[in-house]
Amino acid sequence: MQDAANLSEYRKQLREALENEFQREALDKFAVAYRTSRANAFAGIDAPELINEIAVAKDEAVDHLMELYEEFKRHAEAAGTKVHLAATAREANEIIAAIAKENGVRTIVKSKSMTAEETHLNDHLEAQGLEVTETDLGEWIIQLRHEGPTHMVMPAIHLSRYQVADLFTEVTRKKQDVDIQKLVKVARRELRPKYCQADMGISGANFAIAATGSIGIITNEGNGRLTTTLPRVHVALAGIDKLAPTLHDALRIIKCLPKNATGQNLTSYVTWITGAVPCAVGPEGKKVHHVVFVDNGRLAMAKDPLFKQALRCIRCGACANVCPIYRLVGGHKYGHVYIGAIGLVATYFFHGRDKAKNLVQNCLNCGACKAVCAAGIDLPTMIKEVHARIQDEEGHPLYSSAAGMVLKNRTLFHTMLKSARVMQKPVAGGGYLRHLPMFLFKDHDFRALPAIADEAFRDRWEKIRPRVAKADIKVALFSGCVQDFVYPEQMEAAVAVIASKPGVAMEYPMGQSCCGLPLMMMGEKKAGRELAAHNMNAIDAAGFDYIVTLCASCASYLKHGYQRLFADDPAMAYKAAQFAHRVMDFSSFVHDVLGMDQEAFTGPSKDVTYHAPCHLCRGLGVTEAPRELLRDAGLNYLPAAEEDVCCGFGGTFSVKFPELSKELLHKKINNLKATGATAMATDCPGCIMQIRGGFEHEGTTFEVRHVAEYLAARLKRG
Amino acid sequence: MSTPPALVDRLKEKAGLVSAVVASVASMDEAIAYVADVCANKEACQILASGCDAPLSDTAEALCETKQQKIVCAPDLPEEDVAKLTALCQERGIAVITKGMRGRLGGIDIAVTMAAAGIAETGTVVVRSTDEEVRLATMIAETHIALLPESAIVADSYDFEPTLVSWMGEPNYTAFITGPSRTADIERVLALGVHGPLEMHILILEGK
Ligand code: SF4
Ligand code: SF4
């Protein structure tokens, strides 16, 4: 439960979390195992198609929640279920407490429900003097420890068997062995009497089927079945977004959810309950059955064109499983109640700005969550959007609005960069900034920072531009700030590679500026739009066949981000689409468009490994082009473990959360070294800055270069 | 129309992957003999085996002591089959019951039930559990044996959808059961039998 008052307190908590070695090791192991088990579970299944079907069906349902509610209510009540709709979390809790009172309930057993966590139901019921016992093993463990879950599917993943044994020793007042199989049996037998005594069972519901008034519950342990069977009263609590038109919608989700959650084909139990079923201890031999739907902002969210997507969520937890930050700090620090990427979004809506404002900044924009989401939710974009909204509501921090002001004014920004070059003189050496006044860069001494180049690419362009007599393909080069001012040699290499093919005319439109991604990362949406408009003006897309960039982040932002920025402005949307259609990353352009292959290159073999930039492999879906180019250039490409996991740069992220950036960089460096190579290629200057700086800082000689540089060095001269 | 062998094999394979024991039997009599054998060969209480010596709190101990004899519960088998099962079990000192599960919450050895369908894709059996005795027996028993007519095997959950929808027209409780009760909540280590059965058997009734 993340609830730091401000960013520095949050960072302090993150540092503490980093020191929790057991948790880090557990989450590391899980992250690695999950990849394989998910892939195995989906073998032979068209996962993207299934996910797309789920997304389409969910969107359709979200547009008709109230109609679905009425339909559900009609059918369920005909079958003897009482149906409620609570506007707020508190109202939901009060309804349930009233049901308890009306039925003379004293003890309650509960099966797992994230919605009940959302409404803090247990606290409410306990305050009324009711005894509530969680029966899901993980939930019971954390209930006994008085803490919240650290994963939506595996709530106690942060705890070791030793901690559980100690806890159970306390509960049973008998010494327990540190043996997982035995501990599970102890829980089985300790919890059994709780079911027998309970007057009421509370469950969640994964589905509420409007056409029949039925609910569906997914569990592995079977506690859901006992909870809904033994006590005489059963209350199911569900977000109103759990309504689905038909059973088919539920079956479709079931085909995906367990596979996506833990790589399990199907959970042990799927329970379908319709109406008041027989119950020997209930009035007239029937169960007292209630379904409580909670709105808590969902109906308003359903009308928000951007955020309605969040209501697609089926709570599989995968967006945490793959998140590099979750993996480092765990669920208590990476969510309030809801955890992982969806937690960063949902917290703002369900638990308020205060709980969300620090949390929402802790995202690399690496896109790993989006790539696995069972409902195809564009999580990174929504996270940034929440951040922007919070800033609009609370006021923008000074550094953030200042950055907005500077970046959207190209002349001012570039003048500042050039004067920075002059000012760095005394501390720059060998291409890195040396002897930085460290008080300015506290916590940033985990990587060497590059110096600004003597001459920016834009100032070299006239001297190096190739003259082409007859142009078959017209290309506009987009350099991005880093390659323009820090690594102009990467741009020069690219120009040499492209120019080796006849008939390609290149232009470098001088008016271009920063792509604007840093502003989006900082939640400066308005300045970002102005900057995007500026670039689309500076590069008249209609005059070019391609807009090529060597920076994966720029490429992915120019291609997808610009269209999102202008989605609600028809005139600009057209321009943005025209622009986006022409944007291509360097490796794809050279490989797919120019068709360069081994014929073009020469040189001795050499081991080289690769880092797949987030914005290339996930942002643009480009995976093969750079690897094939490396092989074609005669290099011996050695794949690294977790090649597509973020290096920890994340642009402004690494400035805000240096301690996390550092850990991710360490992992990356270790994986690269483990290949045995001493050279690495990649497609993004940001990643190069991070990884090269990391090697430089630890004093390891390791060549880190852009794919373009390797290709340029191996061009056949002729 | 007979069920394609490939479908049966797929169900066997998928159920096997989730630790279910799957066997084919030629007749109901054979199935009944199987049940009696499993019960006779089973240790009196597997929970004991996995640590009845494990010290429990006093309430939990008390509940455990309610069970004195090996018990099979057959809540939804046809009467004549129950009679046959009872005869077979009596010789071996095993009690056969068909109801009264609320008095046996400490545990029983075996629940034997019919399966209304099998879903090959996931190795699942569908158990109609609107009858509370079926629901309880299949949760309280240490071993659940489901008798699945071969002809009731479908490829995919969608194939079973129309039937389930028709059941949902009135108060209904249906369970898709895939392997024994399981958890991985402690250190992601798989443990079977956390709340429900430790073992799940599927007996495919050939030609039925
Ligand atoms: S974009 Fe990356 S860092 Fe951000 S929430 Fe998703 S997985 Fe985590
Ligand atoms: S946002 Fe997507 S990945 Fe995350 S829990 Fe929801 S459905 Fe699963």
Segment A625-652, tens digit of pLDDT? 999 999 999 999 999 999 999 999 988 8
**Ligand 1 binding pocket includes A386 (Cβ within 6 Å):** no
Residues of chain A contacting B193 with CB distance shorter than 8 Å: 184-185, 188
- B133-167: burial string, b at 16+ Cβ within 10 Å, e else: bbbbbbbbbbbbbbbbbbebbbeebeebbeebbeb
Residue B27 clears pLDDT 80, i.e. is over it: yes
CB-nearest to B193 from A188, A190, A211 is: A188
B173 forms beta bridges with: A273
What is the number of residues in chain A?
718
Task: Quote the percentage of chain A above a pLDDT of 90.
Answer: 81
What band does B49 get if pLDDT is binned at 50, 70 and 90?
very low
Token pair belonging to A261? 């959650």
- pLDDT tens digit sequence for A201-251: 999 999 999 999 999 999 999 999 999 999 999 999 999 999 999 999 999
Arithmetic mean of pLDDT, B81-95: 93
- pLDDT tens digit sequence for B109-141: 999 999 999 999 999 999 999 999 999 999 999
Q: Which of A422, A395, A420 is nearest to A406 (CA)?
A: A420
**Ligand 2 binding pocket includes A377 (Cβ within 6 Å):** yes
Least confident of A39-43, A355-359, A495-499, B43-47: B43-47
Residue A438 clears pLDDT 50, i.e. is over it: no
**Ligand 2 binding pocket includes A373 (Cβ within 6 Å):** yes
Of residues A401 and A540, more confidence is placed in A540
Look at residue A458 in the predicted model and tell me its pLDDT.
93
Q: CA angle, corner A613, sides to A509 and A322, nearest 5?
A: 140
Amino acid at B20: A
Residue B161 clears pLDDT 60, i.e. is over it: yes
- For chain A positions 261-280, those within 8 Å of chain B (CB to CB) are 262, 265-280
Q: Is A42 left (phi over 0), alpha (psi -120 to 50) or beta?
A: alpha
Arithmetic mean of pLDDT, A399-415: 81
| Chain B nearest CA to A135, separation (Å) | 9
Residues of chain B contacting A273 with CB distance shorter than 8 Å: 172-173
Alpha helices in B117-192 (DSSP H): 132-140, 157-167
State which H helix or E strand residue B30 sits in. Answer: helix B28-41
Range of the domain at B157: 5-205
- pLDDT tens digit sequence for A292-326: 999 999 999 999 988 999 999 999 999 999 999 99
Look at residue A449 in the predicted model and tell me its pLDDT.
79
- pLDDT tens digit sequence for A160-200: 999 999 999 998 999 999 999 999 999 998 999 999 999 99
| Chain A nearest CA to B91, separation (Å) | 31
What band does A402 get if pLDDT is binned at 50, 70 and 90?
confident
State chain B's mean pLDDT as an integer.
89
Token pair belonging to A701? 């000689």
Alpha-carbon distances of A280 from A223, A225, A274, A285, A287, rounded to whole Å: 19, 15, 17, 5, 8
A82/B contact by beta carbon, under 8 A: no
Look at residue A433 in the predicted model and tell me its pLDDT.
63
Residue B32 clears pLDDT 70, i.e. is over it: yes
- Strand, helix or coil at A408? coil
What band does B46 get if pLDDT is binned at 50, 70 and 90?
very low
Q: What domains are there in chain A, each with its CATH number?
A: 7-33+317-392 (no CATH), 63-299 (3.40.50.10420), 457-713 (no CATH)
What band does A430 get if pLDDT is binned at 50, 70 and 90?
low
- pLDDT tens digit sequence for A131-147: 999 999 999 999 999 99
Residue B48 clears pLDDT 70, i.e. is over it: no
Arithmetic mean of pLDDT, A535-549: 95
- Our count of domains for chain B comes to 1
Contact B185 A141 (CB under 8 A): yes
**Ligand 1 binding pocket includes A367 (Cβ within 6 Å):** yes
Q: Is A501 exposed, middle or buried (0-12, 13-18, 19+ CB in 10 A)?
A: middle
Arithmetic mean of pLDDT, A256-280: 95
State the Cα–Cα distance between residues A37 and A34, nearest whole angstrom.
Answer: 5
Look at residue A113 in the predicted model and tell me its pLDDT.
93
Look at residue A392 in the predicted model and tell me its pLDDT.
87
Residue A381 clears pLDDT 70, i.e. is over it: yes
Look at residue A656 in the predicted model and tell me its pLDDT.
87
What ipTM score was computed for the predicted complex, to two decimals?
0.92
A230: phi then psi, degrees, rounded to nearest 5: -70, -50
Q: Is A33 left (phi over 0), alpha (psi -120 to 50) or beta?
A: alpha
**Ligand 1 binding pocket includes A650 (Cβ within 6 Å):** no
Look at residue A397 in the predicted model and tell me its pLDDT.
80
Contact B196 A187 (CB under 8 A): no
Look at residue A452 in the predicted model and tell me its pLDDT.
84
CATH number at residue B130: 3.40.50.10420
Instruction: Confirm if A588 and A622 have CB atoms less than 8 A apart.
Output: yes
Question: Which residues have C-beta within 8 Å of that of residue B149, sequence separation ≥ 6?
Answer: B115, B204, B205, B208
Residues of chain A contacting B164 with CB distance shorter than 8 Å: 247, 272
Look at residue A220 in the predicted model and tell me its pLDDT.
93
Q: Is A86 exposed, middle or buried (0-12, 13-18, 19+ CB in 10 A)?
A: buried
Look at residue A436 in the predicted model and tell me its pLDDT.
47
- pLDDT tens digit sequence for A470-487: 889 999 999 988 899 889
A40/B contact by beta carbon, under 8 A: no
Look at residue A439 in the predicted model and tell me its pLDDT.
46
Taking CB atoms within 8 Å and a gap of at least 24, the contacts of A88-91 are A88/A294, A88/A295, A88/A296, A89/A118, A89/A119, A89/A120, A89/A294, A89/A296, A89/A350, A90/A119, A90/A124, A91/A294
A141/B contact by beta carbon, under 8 A: yes
Ligand 2 centre to CA of A310 (Å) is 9
Ligand 2 centre to CA of A315 (Å) is 5
- The DSSP 8-state label assigned to residue A561 in this structure reads I
Ligand 2 centre to CA of B184 (Å) is 20
Contact B196 A172 (CB under 8 A): no
Ligand 2 centre to CA of A373 (Å) is 5
Arithmetic mean of pLDDT, A20-38: 93
Arithmetic mean of pLDDT, B147-156: 96
State chain A's mean pLDDT as an integer.
92
